[in-house]
Amino acid sequence: MKFGVIGTGAIGGYYGGRLAQAGEDVHFLVHRDYNEMKESLRVDSINGSFIIEHPNVYISSNDMPKVDVVLVALKTINNMLLPTLLSPIIDNDTIVILLQNGICVEEDLEKMRPNLQLVAGLGFICSTKIGPAHISHQDFGALTLANYSCRDDWKIEHIADIFRNANIPTDIVEYNFGRWRKAIWNLTFNGLTVVLQRDTQYLVSNNETLELCRTIMNEVISIAHAIGVNELKESHINDNINATKSMKPYAPSMKVDYDNHRPMEVYYLYTKPLMVAELHGVNCPKLKWLENELRKISM
């Protein structure tokens, strides 16, 4: 299969790099570090560091070939660009995997570009872009695929096998379960690390902030239950807390964006979930507080 990567940052660079390292045909759309990326993509990884010499890189998707699978790792604040970026590289059979945080991202993209074959790509990974064409992968790395509108489930199984062969542990779950399971961690730690100016390790090691984390996670699960995702339980909260305790102190993507004076993904990480909560009559005071504080900071 031929892969395209739109957004060669911490996530797209890692997963796309792993595929290229495994010998897959991968084509990267890059922006600021095009010249550096033409020479090499470097990934420093706990699972084995590697360098891709002279990868297939492009500064415009108009120059890219048609691909079988697109990995979209743009920040969601740029999703209005996706219909234009995708058009030159997809056909009716192309599968678009959104490696993006938040809720309703597939639904909104489908409204902008109907008839796409969309799959949610949900990475549990600690990865940061630390320089031009240079990724630091610090922990975890598993990927979950969740079908939103792909017509053929067998294709998703085949893609999952390709990821596994590229040293990316991959599973497949139901769409809403996958999105909301990931939201338990994302909606808690992305915003809190910014608002409280603390890393993940502090948040789960201090009794007061740990209780706040648990409260937010419970609110996320309450929204999920309201839309019928009843599989999420207290055990998922404990799993997220324990996983975070085991990882190295980490600054999630929203904290990295804040520290680098870039726009933050408040809309899909907080506003959209709260819109779902309001629609179903679920009260989420801590999530509302967090969204409000993030909007103040973003002004």
Indicate which residues carry an active-site annotation: 182
3-state secondary structure of 65: coil
Specify the residue for token string 């495994």.
22
Q: Are the C-beta atoms of residues 118 and 145 closer than 8 Å to each other? A: no
